Amino acid sequence: MTQPNECTEEYAAMMDESDPLRSYRNEFYLDKDMIYLDGNSLGLLSTRAEQALLDGLNDWKTLGIDGWSKGENPWFYMAQQLGEMTAPLIGAEKEQVIVTGSTTTNIHQLVSTFYQPTAAKYKILADDATFPSDIYALKSQLKLKGYDPANALVRVQSENGMLAEEQIIESMSDDVALIFLPSVLYRSGQILDMERITAEAHKRSIIVGFDLCHSIGAVPHQLDEWDIDFAVWCTYKHLNGGPGAVGGLYVNKKHFGREPGLAGWFSSKKEVQFDMSHELTPDADAGAYEIGTPHILSMAPLLGSLAMFNEAGIQQVRQKSLRLTDYMITLITHELSGFHFSIASPLDHKQRGGHLLVQHTHAASICKALNAEGIVPDFRAPDFIRIGPVALYNSFYDIWETVNVLKRIMTEETYKKYENKRNIIA
């Protein structure tokens, strides 16, 4: 039998039929009139995540305060339980991972812990393409230690949305005390070589941490093998934990015993926490970097979501993710030729994360036209369409239909009905 042309609906159907992850699509709440391609901003709700939240509510309803110690998932240990479930996704031992706080809170926590400047070594190295919140937090930490960010924060300059690792390494001067970079750039989707950067940093006695927000749940990591010092992430993107879901952090066990920079009630060793001493006995592992009481109802959905990831396997998720973005690149190249679209993400699998960045002069109005057709990407200034297919629920047909609709929007010029300006929330 002759294989159908890649640009046909039949080919997309064939790919979906042979997809080993196709059954997971049935576990998500998908609007039949919508193609959702914004999973790199907010993942969709699964029936398992919903049930886990309902179970948490039921424990509150039936157990009251005993929910902290009783029930199937006692609240007192939920952060550690979720840390253990997350560990396989990032190549870490369970004791080094905890689900707690938010991305920005965890940046503050770990930078305040690991950034210990001296007169000779006081700068923080970051980049100009990272998410704004990371820079806000780094500037705050510098000011708290008495440094002017204009001098003490060094930002490697990107080019066309990409960072050159050679330039990052060249910027590791003797006065740099700490490096904090994204694993995947939130616009271009470029993957940084975390192993190489870490090895070069450690040669120079520099602590290095990473923001995994745009990689966790889409790209496998080996944080232990790469000897990463620390990492943080959110759980509401590829991990489908829900809006405002609790974040997570990793601390390499070689740093266990270091006092947390921001101590709090849940930084305590569990066995003595209720002694109510005013002298903190920090937990022996990553639990030391918790701060306040866990947000149970914002953590509970992760019990269901992470179970799906551990069942499917992050390697299989990555393989499908790449096939989906490869397919979109192929269709854009062949079907949208002449409409002035360009792919702004790396084409090499080793350098490309779980989403695509597509550039067009009328990106904002095109996004609005797609939304009117029931297709949900997102817009990034100044002229980018970001498309984040999620392996557990997006199909190859979703990709084919999106490009098909996009071709019609461009041919009929319906995008011109919309102002080429972002909405308040983009």
User: Which residues are annotated binding-site positions for pyridoxal 5'-phosphate?
Assistant: 103-104, 131-134, 211, 214, 236, 265, 293
Measured CA distances, 175 to 152, 160, 171, 206, 286 (Å):
9, 28, 10, 9, 28
Around 58, how many Cα atoms within 13 Å sit in the side-chain half-sphere? 9
Distance CA 11, CA 387 (A): 21
- Identify residue 388 by its one-letter amino acid code: G
Query: Residues within the annotated binding site?
Result: 103-104, 131-134, 211, 214, 236, 265, 293
Nearest-angstrom CA–CA distance, 418 and 388? 23
Q: How far is CA 99 from the centre of its chain?
A: 14
Query: Rounded distance, CA 206 to CA 168, Å?
Result: 13
Q: CA-CA distance, 314 to 317, in Å (whole number)?
A: 5
Residue 34 CA neighbour count, 13 Å, CB half: 12
Dmax (CA) of the chain:
75
How far apart, in whole angstroms, are the C-alpha atoms of residue 425 and residue 236? 17
The residue whose two tokens read 């779980």 is 354
The count of residues in the chain is 426
CB burial readout 228-257, b (16+ within 10 A) else e? bbbbbbbbbbbbbbbeebbbbbbbbeebee
State the residue for tokens 């001296």: 118
Residue 343 is given by DSSP the state E
3-state secondary structure at position 387:
strand
Check: CB of residue 138 under 8 Å from CB of residue 117: no
377/84 Cα distance (integer angstroms): 32
Q: Where are the beta strands (DSSP E) in 20-116?
A: 35-36, 97-99
Beta carbons within 10 angstroms of residue 23's beta carbon: 10
Buried b or exposed e, range 193-213, using 16+ CB within 10 angstroms: ebeebbebbeeeebbbbbbbb
Alpha-carbon gap, residue 142 to 149, rounded angstroms: 6
